[in-house]
A and B are shown apart, each in its own frame.
Chain A
Amino acid sequence: MSFQTFIFYFLSTVLVISALGVITARNPVHAALLLVLAFFTSSGLWLLLQAEFLAITLVLVYVGAVMVLFLFVVMMLDINIARLREGFWKYLPMGGVVALLLVVEMGMILTSRSVGFGDVPQPPPLPSNLSHTKELGRLIYTEYVYPFEIAAVILLVAIVAAIALTLRKRKLDKYMDPATQIAVQRKDRVRVVSMASEARLDADSAASAEKPADATAGKESKPA
């Protein structure tokens, strides 16, 4: 067994075990950390296949950005894992039987002699100075520019959808716009109403009504 084969089996074993751990771990933080391990080992597998760009992207994007974000979410939200697991045992027998059948059927087809996997020749080794980044960049902007643009549109749709579904204007918004506050004018706040003067009914009531009558005489304050 060559050293490369040994590395392959080692990484694969770690990958399978950590992937199983992700779905069986009781603690969501453990599950997220095991997923990091799974990504890391699979990036090792990419390196074995001489796909260094993919390997680095996997670590940078998934481990560096996505999983860290995910860990934050898991730690900040109080996710009730027991409720998520409700019904797990109830559905396990049925789901397990279906999954087992699928695996057996697929295995039978893929291991049959006529499948032709043996005919696939081993790809020739790549020259050591070949830069994947450069090659990918060249392809994406020339031959694959159309799907590349569509992928960009899909991301735009994701942004639009996320904002449309989460942004809401609250009724009791405390938000203020200083510009409109400064630009306010007298006529926006106060309305001067001309009224015909009214005769007093008698001296007593006039004395008591004088003050408020003065204050509102001809003026009507409008709530801002």
Chain B
Amino acid sequence: MQYITPLWPAFPEIFLLAMACVILIADLFIRDENRGLTYFLTQLTLAGCAALTWVTASNEPVHTFSGMFVGDLMSDVLKLVTYFGVISILVYARDYITLRGMFRGEFFALTLFATLGLMVMISANHLLTLYLGLELLSLSLYAMVALQRDSAQATEAAMKYFVLGALASGMLLYGMSMIYGAAGSLEVTRIAGVIADDGAKNVVLVFGLVFLAAGIGFKLGAAPFHMWLPDVYHGAPTAVTLFIGSVPKLAAFAFVIRLLVQALGVEEIQAHWQQMLAVMAVLSLIVGNITAIAQTNIKRMLAYSTISHMGFLLIGICAGGLNGYASGMFYAVVYVLMSLGAFGMILLLSRQGFEAENLDDFRGLNHRSPWYAFLMLLLMFSMAGVPPTVGFYAKFAVLQAIVEAGHVWLAVIAVIFSLVGAFYYLRIVKLMYFDAPEDTTPITPRGDAQWLLSVNGLAVLAFGIFPQPLMALCASAILASL
């Protein structure tokens, strides 16, 4: 047995952990008026992680820590997108959290720990590390939701999130213990080997799979396990909602790929989980798109829109094969880009004592700021899947994969409910362009947030016109990892 493991594949994780501890300590010695230094250090840490991930990236999968950690192209790509996402979140959220008294060291430390949890999940090759990464992420998020202590709404959201999250973790652990009982190992590659050798006749395996699917459904926020999502999105401070609603979906995608595809990807087992995922996908599309119509709060509306997007993501994974998984990964990345933009817009329109979270707050945005209205138009078109934005291409790739896999009925349902969903996205466009503004306060966000939001909005358009490089990257990442 090899005791001295190569540490270099995990350098980004090690660096992030060390820096998170440094920031935690350094913050104690920083005065309130210099709190910007903590912010700057946090951004620098994330940039450093990106550089390290770039340097240590390798085409061949590298295993270390006794096979518990894997560094492959998929993990590198997903991690880089995660860093980009977290950096943007902090830029968008800076003004918002300053005005609401959350611009404290703990916010940054918890953000970094949550990011570490995401990275651990993305690179996990062992059910134990998958679970621990998930818990690290969830615990940090529960605390971040409750950080606004005097808000009853935020406390309630944190409580709901905590209780349901614990329930989901219990399900997941129960399923994992069944898998361990059937396969005799927790390592992803070894489970796959055992199942391939023994055949998949074991009922215990499928029994555990049911619990795993339920746990994954909870964490992704797919119907019928979606109940926590609207309340948590609504109750949490928007800066935290931005976090919950964006980057964790990348890790959730990696979770599904590692657990279902890499460990339980044998054809007979695959048929079982494909059925479960298909049911969850269809329910998510129906519940998400129809309930979103009735919402007047844009955070709740985006929560239901997340549910429907997760339905699409699951359809991509259901399709299976290189095309299916690649389209799923593409969808996850694009979803993160879109939700960053949409929640970032809510953050930028908010100001002291005012949350731009109702649909009416978007009324007549075109008169107040034509550029913001245009960016929001791009983001909403992309979420609805209108060409030439990238949302169209993401949906198109998923549908193509599922039709190729022979499940035409799933594609038909997805298209029908995307049409239903287009209604509530276009309603925002209508409010912005054809209604008179109720609120004429000038919009004055920070310069960097303004620039980043513009880049984010235009990226949705640019990737829509030239989707090929990103799609090719996703395809080669999946190819290198499977």
Contact = CB atoms under 8 A, between A and B. Distances in A.
Interface of A: 106, 109-110, 112, 114-117, 142-147, 150-151, 153-154, 156-158, 160-161, 163-165, 168
Contacts of B1: 142-143
A146 B132 CA distance: 10
B132 A147 contact: yes
Interface string B391-423: 000000000000000000000000000000000
Contacts of B135: 154
Given A106-B207, A142-B66, A157-B136, 17 more contacts: A109-B207, A112-B203, A116-B201, A116-B204, A143-B1, A144-B68, A145-B65, A147-B68, A147-B126, A151-B132, A153-B17, A154-B136, A156-B113, A157-B139, A158-B139, A164-B104, A165-B147
Say whether chain B's binding surface is mostly helix, strand, loop, or mixed.
helix
B149 A168 contact: yes
Nearest to A150: B132
Of the candidates A110, A158, A161, A163, the one having the most CB atoms from chain B within 10 angstroms of its own CB is A161
B110 interface: yes
Contacts, number: 83
Contacts of A160: 24, 106, 109-110, 113, 143
Contacts of A115: 202-204, 207
A147 B142 CA distance: 21
Interface string B97-131: 00000001010011001001000100000101100
Nearest to B202: A116
Say whether chain A's binding surface is mostly helix, strand, loop, or mixed.
helix
B149 A150 contact: no
Given A161-B142, A165-B146, A153 B66 contact: no
Interface of B: 1, 3, 10, 17, 21, 24, 65-66, 68-69, 104, 106, 109-110, 113, 116, 120, 126, 128-129, 132-133, 135-136, 139-140, 142-143, 146-147, 149, 182, 201-204, 207
A146 B142 CA distance: 24
A143 B126 CA distance: 12
A161 B203 contact: no
15 contacts: A110-B207, A114-B201, A117-B204, A142-B66, A146-B69, A146-B129, A147-B68, A147-B126, A147-B132, A153-B136, A154-B132, A157-B136, A160-B113, A160-B143, A164-B147
A33 B142 CA distance: 30
The 8 A-B pairs at the shortest CB distance, nearest first, are namely A161-B143, A146-B65, A164-B106, A150-B132, A143-B66, A115-B203, A146-B68, A147-B128
A116 B147 CA distance: 49
A125 B324 CA distance: 48
A142 B143 contact: no
Contacts of B68: 144, 146-147
Nearest to B142: A161
Given A142-B3, A165-B147, A150 B139 contact: no
B113 A153 contact: yes
B360 to A, nearest CB: 33
B241 to A, nearest CB: 18
B140 A161 contact: yes
Contact of A157 (B10, B66, B113, B128): B113
A143 B68 CA distance: 9
Contacts of B110: 157, 160-161, 164
B140 A150 contact: no
Contacts of A156: 21, 113
Contacts of B129: 146-147, 150
Contacts of B207: 106, 109-110, 115
Given A147-B132, A164-B106, A165-B149, A154 B139 contact: yes
Contacts of A163: 106
A219 to B, nearest CB: 31
A150 B143 contact: no
Contacts of A117: 204
Contacts of B203: 109, 112, 114-116
Given A142-B3, A157-B139, A161-B110, A150 B120 contact: yes
Contacts of A106: 207
Contacts of A154: 132, 135-136, 139
Given A114-B201, A160-B24, A150 B133 contact: yes
Nearest to B67: A143
B132 A164 contact: no
Nearest to B21: A156
Contacts of B17: 153
A120 B69 CA distance: 29
B143 A165 contact: yes
Contacts of B21: 156
A153 B116 contact: yes
Nearest to A146: B65
Contacts of A147: 68, 126, 128-129, 132
A117 B205 CA distance: 12
Contacts of B116: 153
Nearest to A167: B106
A126 B147 CA distance: 50
Nearest to B158: A165
A147 B132 CA distance: 7
A165 B146 CA distance: 7
Contacts of B109: 160
Contacts of B201: 114, 116
